[in-house]
Amino acid sequence: MVLLQALNLFSEVIGMSEIITKVLPGFMELLPEEQIEFDRIKNIITTTYEQYGFTAIDTPVIERSKTLLAKAGGETEKQIYCVENRNGAGAGNSDEYGKAELSLRFDLTVPLARYVAEHFNELSFPFRRCHISKVYRGERPQKGRFREFYQCDIDVIGKDKLSIRYDAEIPSIIYQLFKQLDFGKFTIRINNRKILNGLIGSLNIDTDKVEILRIIDKAEKISRDELILQFKNQGITDEAVEKLLGFINIKGSTDEVISMLKSLGVNNGLFNEGLEELATVTTMMAEMGVETDYFKIDLSIARGLDYYTGTVYETVLDDYPKIGSVCSGGRYDNLASYYTTEKLPGVGISIGLTRLFYQLREVGLITCTRKTVADIVVVPMDDLNIKTAFRIANCLRTTGYNVDVLLEELNIKKKFLYVKKKEAFFTIVIGSEEEASGQLTVQYKANGELKKELVSIDSISEFIKSHYYEMRN
């Protein structure tokens, strides 16, 4: 009632013609059948994470700007959504530099770092966390890019140290997850930042390492000439450029790449440490059940974010390379260093679910066919049948089915039009004749053909159970 009054008042003040109902650019709004499919995918991700013992947390959408930007800046600072306190007092206005004190989170990793630092004494380590929620970035709206989007993250955080074994467990989770999602063949591309940083160090390149890594990360997206030009713009010598290009282009099986990296004879401790870690991780991935043709070493994978310090991953769908990475992440030594003196190394991954859903829907890999989450629609033909309808519906709900009871007073034609539009697996019709005989009319599709059967009230649950799997699949 309060909402209705507010809307009426609003319309009187500005005029109904001025109310814009179109969703803002960069924000996704789904129709019911799309939302059902989106939630199905999200539930698969959630269930898989939980199967591996990751506990869900949820941090506030609004954080202090200083907290969010401690490890960020540059483009991130330009994209952040600031929050204004319209009361004009207290937190939420601006700091001594005129910047907003509060902002919307732009990812889930920085809030995780703050969370672990704040609750350090209450948590058990290694701390296994999952977080599936919305984040916000003021990006320029474009196709497939969103200002509000879901991220699906998992991380393992250690105290002082974290075994390299977790670096292998994470891709094994990716493998199991994308097998269940069934988006076709995929490849987990893996590298180690220590190898890259060690190689750069061995070449005596006196320039910003992070910028070089960002260029390497773009290697497959730009031409060789453009790649060379960007390297030279960083002041890198021709000799060093050729060695970098040769390194990036090392290809082959896991064993072949490891062997070729060893044969380079790079005299750098960090390089050799990274090579040993990479060999360990790839060996353990196979031991954890990841099929060898579902992962490969890709030395061009650098991950542009500077907090990655070791293993890095990117996952691509083999049949849809233009989509880019659908799951990425890696190892970081101490992301929480801005918030605590404790050393908290971690490893994790993130799936940008909103972007992934949009892109897969665009290429036709996702079909949104279900119009309702109800497995069964119960249709009482008149008021006398409503009591029986609720008794049957409640019985079916207790056995695990989603049941919609049509309570609207409609004529028969409109009732069955509602049923047709809903496209539930089963329709149960209760009329005077059915009630008198103790039988119900059940409609369902089998092999694409609409079928009707009379089923006794006492056996309706068993009937649904015997046909449910066929209908569901």
Q: What is the pLDDT of residues 114-136, one digit of tens each?
A: 999 999 999 999 999 999 999 99
Beta partners for residue 103, in sequence order? 63, 82
* Tokens linked to 310: 């070791």
CATH topology of domain 32-362: BirA Bifunctional Protein; domain 2 (3.30.930)
% of the chain surpassing 70 pLDDT: 90
- CA–CA gap between residue 177 and residue 173 (Å, rounded): 6
pLDDT of residue 143: 76
To which H or E segment does residue 135 belong?
strand 127-136
On the question of a cis peptide bond just before residue 126, with omega within 30 degrees of 0, the verdict is yes
pLDDT of residue 99 exceeding 80, the answer is no
Among 128-142, 195-209, 274-288, name the most confident range: 274-288
In contact, 302 and 214? CB cutoff 8 Å: yes
HEC string of 421-457?
HHCCCEEEEECHHHHHHCEEEEEEEECCEEEEEEEEH
Beta partners for residue 64, in sequence order? 102
pLDDT of residue 318: 95
pLDDT of residue 4 exceeding 60, the answer is no
pLDDT of residue 132: 98
pLDDT of residue 12 exceeding 60, the answer is no
% of the chain surpassing 90 pLDDT: 62
More confident residue, 324 or 154: 154
| DSSP 8-state code for residue 416 | H
For residue 368, how far is the Cα from the chain centroid? 18
CATH 3.40.50.800, the chain: domain bounds:
376-472
pLDDT of residue 390 exceeding 90, the answer is yes
pLDDT of residue 87: 65
What's the pLDDT tens digit per position in 292-321? 999 999 998 887 666 789 999 999 999 999
Q: What is the mean pLDDT of residues 171-193?
A: 96
Lowest-pLDDT range, 90-99, 212-221, 263-272, 357-366? 90-99
CA dihedral (40, 394, 460, 385) in degrees, to 10, reads -120
pLDDT of residue 75: 59
pLDDT of residue 90 exceeding 70, the answer is no
pLDDT of residue 97 exceeding 70, the answer is no
Burial of residue 102, with CB atoms counted within 10 A of its CB: 0-12 exposed, 13-18 middle, 19 or more buried: buried
In contact, 127 and 134? CB cutoff 8 Å: no
Q: What is the mean pLDDT of residues 62-84?
A: 79
Q: What is the DSSP string of 318-362?
A: TT-GGG--SEEEEEES-GGGGT-SS---EEEEEEEHHHHHHHHHH
In contact, 304 and 214? CB cutoff 8 Å: yes
On the question of a cis peptide bond just before residue 171, with omega within 30 degrees of 0, the verdict is no
In contact, 167 and 277? CB cutoff 8 Å: yes
State the pLDDT confidence band at 16, using cuts at 50, 70 and 90. Answer: low
More confident residue, 192 or 200: 192
More confident residue, 180 or 308: 180
What's the pLDDT tens digit per position in 207-231? 777 778 788 878 778 888 888 888 8
Rounded to 5°, the CA angle 148-65-331 comes to 70
**β pairing state of 55-56 and 127-136:** parallel
In contact, 103 and 136? CB cutoff 8 Å: no
pLDDT mean across residues, the chain: 88
Q: What is the DSSP string of 60-111?
A: -SEEEHHHHHSS--THHHHHPPEE--TT-SSTTSB-TTS-BSEEE-S-SHHH
CATH 3.30.930.10, the chain: domain bounds:
32-362
Residue written as token pair 């009361």 = 87
CATH topology of domain 376-472: Rossmann fold (3.40.50)
3-class secondary structure, 295: strand
